[in-house]
Amino acid sequence: MTKSVVAKKVIVVGGGIVGCLTALRLAQRGCQVTVVERNQIAAQTSGEASWAGAGILFPLLPWMYKDEVNALALRGASLYPQICAALKHETGIDPEYTQSGMLIQPPFDAALALDWCAKNNIKTQQVGENLLLPQVAQVRNPRLMQALKQLLIQQNVTLLESTQLEPLTNTHKIDGWKTNTGKVLKADSFVVTSGAWSFELLKDTAAGLNVKPMRGQILLYDLSHQAVADLPTNIIYRDGFYLVPRSDGLLLAGSTLEDVGFDTTTTGAMRQALQVKAENILPSLKHAAVIKHWSGLRPGTPDNLPTIAQHPSIENLFLNTGHFRYGLTMAPASAERVAALICD
C-alpha cells in the first residue's frame, strides 16, 4: 500500500517580488501555497515597491555594503537568467532580462571598487575615468511581476487578492489569521513578505522588527524618437543617482530616498531635482519628454539587511522582509533561504 504525503499548507502574506518568488519556490518544493495580497498582484495601487523599482539587478556601489547584503544580492542576481528564461517560456511574457552593464561615473573610490570586484569575480573595464561593470543586468519590473503572477496561477498557487491580513496578536502558534473580509485563514505555516507594511502587521509580536517605509520617486523619459546614437546602452550611475535605458527607447531616472512615512505623493520639487541630475549626465534629455513620474515605498532597514528567519516565539511564523534598496535583486536568494527554513 502506498502512503499518500499531505502537502504542507503555506500562506504567503504580500504579493510583491519577495512574496511571489517565495510562493514559487515553496510550490516547487511541494507545498500547497496561497498568496494573500491586499491589492492586486503586479499592479501599482498604493506604493508597492516591486512594481515601482528600477529593475537593476545589482547593488549600487556594493563595496559600501556589508558582506551579508552582497552575498544575498549576488546569489539573487545569479538566479535571474534562469528565472526569466523560464517565465518567458512558460507564460509568453518577457521580463526583458538584459545584461546592459553599469557605468559608474566619479566620484567613487576606485581602489576599493577594483579590489571588491576582483575579490568577487566581477568583471571591470576602465572607460576613461569611469568604471564599467559589463555583467550587471536589468529587468522590467511590471513585466516581471505580470509573468510571475501568470506562472503562479499555472503552478496552482492560490492568489487571494483584495484581501488584507489584520495585525497579528501575540500567540505561540497561529491557528488562524483574520482578514479584513471577516475570513480566518488557516495554514501549517505563514510567511510575512509584506514589505514596508511588515512592522504594522507584526508590531504586537515583533517589537524589534526595524522595517519602515522609505519613499523613492522616479521619472520615465521617452527617447524613442531620438537618434539611436544619442541613447546610452549601459545603466549609468553617478553620485547616488542612476539612468536605466530600456530596449524600446524609454529611460528611467531615479531615484529619491525619502523618510516620509506611508505618503506616496510625487512632488514637483523632487521631479525637478531628478530632471536636473538626469540632464547633467545626459544633456539630450532636455529635449525628451517625461511621460511618467511615480513613487514606491521601499521596506527600509538598518544596513539594508532583511530579516529572513523563523519567528523566535511563534513556531509557524516566518519572516522574509526588509530588503530595502535591493529587494528585487535579493528576492530569489531570499526565497530560497526562507523555503529551506520552512521545508527542511
Ligand X SMILES: Cc1cc2nc3c(=O)[nH]c(=O)nc-3n(C[C@H](O)[C@H](O)[C@H](O)COP(=O)(O)OP(=O)(O)OC[C@H]3O[C@@H](n4cnc5c(N)ncnc54)[C@H](O)[C@@H]3O)c2cc1C
Contacts with ligand X by CB under 6 A lie at: 13-19, 36-39, 48-50, 52-56, 164-165, 193-197, 201, 216, 218, 254-255, 296, 298-299, 321, 323-329
Cβ closest to ligand X, residue 113 vs residue 319: 319
Residue 145, C-beta contacts closer than 8 angstroms, at least 6 positions apart: 17, 20, 41, 42, 50, 51
Residue 116 or residue 197: which is nearer to ligand X going by CB? 197
Q: Report how far residue 57's alpha carbon sits from residue 235's, in angstroms, rounded to the nearest whole number.
A: 11
Do 147 and 91 touch, CB atoms closer than 8 A?
A: yes
Q: Helices 17-28 and 327-343, interaxial angle, to 10°? A: 40
Instruction: List the grid coordinates of 232.
Output: 546610452
Q: DSSP string spanning 221-239? A: EE-TTS-GGGS--SEEEET
Least spacing, CB of residue 1 vs ligand X, in Å: 42
- Ordered strands of the 32-36 beta sheet: 158-160, 32-36, 9-13, 189-192, 317-321, 307-310
State which residue, 225 or 295, has the beta carbon closest to ligand X.
295
**Cell 510575512 maps to which residue?**
192
Give alpha helix (H) positions in 207-322.
Answer: 268-281
Smaller CB distance to ligand X: residue 98 or 194? 194
Residue number, 194 or 205, with CB nearest to ligand X? 194
Instruction: Report, in Å, the least distance between residue 111 CB and ligand X.
Output: 26
Cα(190)–Cα(206) distance, integer angstroms: 15
- Output the smallest distance, CB 227 to ligand X, in A: 27
Nearest distance from residue 2's CB to ligand X, in Å?
A: 38
> What are the start-end ranges of the E strands in the chain?
9-13, 32-36, 102-105, 125-127, 130-133, 158-160, 177-178, 184-185, 189-192, 212-222, 235-238, 241-245, 250-254, 289-300, 307-310, 317-321
Residues 191 and 198: beta-carbon distance below 8 Å: no
| Residue whose CB is less far from ligand X, 189 or 194 | 194
Judged by CB, which is closer to ligand X: 131, or 300? 300
> At closest approach, how far in Å is the CB of 264 from ligand X?
10
In angstroms, give the least distance from the CB of 331 to ligand X.
7
| Closer residue to ligand X in complex, CB, 39/226 | 39
DSSP-derived pairing of the beta strands 317-321 and 307-310: antiparallel
Q: Give the CA count within 13 Å in the CB-facing half-sphere of 314.
A: 24
Least distance from C-beta 130 to ligand X, angstroms? 19
Tell me the three cell numbers of residue 105. Answer: 561615473
Q: How far is the CB of 59 from ligand X (least distance, A)?
A: 8
Residue 278 C-beta: closest distance to ligand X, Å: 14
Nearer to ligand X, 87 or 126 (CB): 87
